A and B are shown apart, each in its own frame.
Chain A
């Protein structure tokens, strides 16, 4: 990302985005207080949200739903329609932000033309999920107590047991853990209103009959050059999302792709230990740790740009430097379209190479490119890798993801080149995929012992009685 590109990205406000987000905030506020006690002001906010959708296919139903909810009739179908409206507004904000970013970067993106079929999933499990979400909406976050949170336990357990429902399962489990930790919510002095409304909305849309799209795409083969690894984690789940560039064996433009592998975990498995949960993907982890390319053969590439990772169809290739990949191939790579359901600003995670900057470290870390400044999201340096705020502050080049949250653009580092004690060093999020390489981290891991092994032993002895 060049100074002029950053300047273009930061120039002016996106028209309509602030208004759309205000309407979303109105819905979020209704969820804070509960749809059972809307009151006049929040009812008006819902009417305004519905009004903004008047020109869309959702319009008439949204108007009706807002009217019914304002009149105190909190039916699941009305909640679902307005949740869809909220998602549509955020989808529009997402599209606008991504288009601005693509324009600034000169990035070409595919258009979405697939019409994916719904995944065949058992609806009885999802209906339990919808009932709990309905109950939450009636009560509002402020009214959430231990009993209401605990009432989701069985639903979540059942969802987790069904691999096809991993997405709603992981989402609901994450939300329930946050609510549980915040109980009684009424005593909290501030609420993560946008976040919880996002999670609630997403869960409701996934839990609709036919709401979960089936995996659809095409088979690809070729050379995969890794740019970096993004790590997602909550108490009971971890996902490594690898960003890379695929050079298709058949020819054609290089493609920006991702490959995500995930495992269930527990909260006491943290830091580099999370890699041990992903032992089923040795080729991918090896490529991260050894900074190698991968030769993949006949793997499914979803329309949204995600490879459905099949470790047996990948072979380690030559050593490949992610900075070289970014320098040579990133500008010309074709970016994938966002799947309709994933159109939300939180999903914007565009790989970029940033260099030629000065780091400024008074409030957090900011990169000054001359044409503007970009804040570094230092909260997003995962504990399972070697990147630290100090390394980022000492860096001269960074491969990262451009993200957007709470009204501003951020850079999430995936790898940095830095100068420490006058020596060049390089660190990547995936460096410790086969175990920590830094002596301090090795010692820390030895001190904590092998959490995964201890818990597996306990599970083996106690679970199958």
Chain B
């Protein structure tokens, strides 16, 4: 055990971040566990130009949902709306239910582990969060796809081997 730990600490290519699982992005293009929240962006089902910014705080479970223009979501009535439910479902696909539960600090049963079970265990209330900040993180995320490809060697990426954990 100690030898294994020492090897881990002395490895240059120790894996720190687990790769995420592939999922359909059409409905919820952006999900992240960051800044002490599960947060993301949910595309509106009716208006292609509109998106909802939804988030749930870790520990407090305070939740919020509004459009990217800062209009409060009409579906929020003291309990999570369909956007928040979709956010949790997609986060569970992306990270696995245990990682999401651990981050939000929700206790879940091994055998009923699912997005719906997770939502039912949330005990927070409506809490305003900076939708503009989350939305700008989403735009930054999208901006990566606009960067030109590179044909010069990036030696630094030898520290980041691709792994097969996604299979």
Contacts and interface: CB of A to CB of B under 8 A. Distances in A.
Interface of A: 21, 25, 146, 150, 153, 157, 160, 163, 166-168, 170-171, 174, 177-178, 180-182, 190-195, 198-199, 202, 206, 215, 231-239, 241, 258-268, 270-271, 273, 277-278, 280-281, 302, 304, 306, 308-311, 339, 341-342, 344-347, 349, 377-384, 387-389, 405-407, 412, 444, 447-449, 451-452, 454-456, 458-459, 461-463
Given A381-B164, A462-B51, A463-B139, A267 B9 contact: no
Contact of B9 (A167, A193, A387, A405): A193
Contact of A178 (B17, B25, B167): B17
A163 B19 CA distance: 26
Max chain A C-beta neighbours (<10 A), residue from B21, B34, B162: B162
Given A166-B150, A178-B17, A195-B16, A346 B159 contact: yes
B35 A266 contact: no
B34 A180 contact: yes
Nearest to A345: B12
Contacts of A387: 164
Interface in B1-47: 5, 7-17, 19-26, 29, 31, 34-36, 43
Contacts of A454: 24-26, 29
B119 to A, nearest CB: 21
Interface of B: 5, 7-17, 19-26, 29, 31, 34-36, 43, 48-49, 51, 68, 94, 138-167
Contacts of A381: 163-164
Q: Is the interface of B mostly helix, strand, loop or mixed?
A: loop
Given A202-B156, A262-B157, A383-B165, A346 B22 contact: no
B16 A194 contact: no
Contact of B36 (A146, A239, A461): A146
Contact of B145 (A182, A215, A271, A459): A459
A278 B147 CA distance: 12
Contacts of B23: 268, 448
21 contacts: A25-B10, A163-B150, A170-B154, A192-B11, A233-B160, A238-B162, A241-B157, A263-B147, A264-B149, A271-B22, A273-B22, A308-B151, A311-B151, A384-B162, A406-B12, A444-B22, A451-B22, A455-B25, A458-B43, A462-B138, A463-B139
Contacts, number: 236
A415 to B, nearest CB: 15
B154 A174 contact: no
Contact of B144 (A266, A342, A412): A266
Contacts of B21: 270
B153 A194 contact: no
B146 A463 contact: yes
B16 A239 contact: no
A261 B150 contact: yes
A260 B154 contact: yes
Given A146-B36, A405-B13, 7 more contacts: A168-B156, A258-B153, A260-B152, A265-B144, A270-B20, A281-B149, A405-B12
Contact of B15 (A379, A452, A458): A379
B156 A267 contact: no
Contacts of B48: 461
A311 B151 CA distance: 9
A239 B154 contact: yes
A239 B34 CA distance: 26
Nearest to A241: B153
Nearest to B140: A157
Nearest to B24: A449
Contact of A346 (B35, B158, B167): B158
A194 B159 contact: no
B89 to A, nearest CB: 15
B14 to A, nearest CB: 4
B25 A268 contact: yes
A167 B31 CA distance: 27
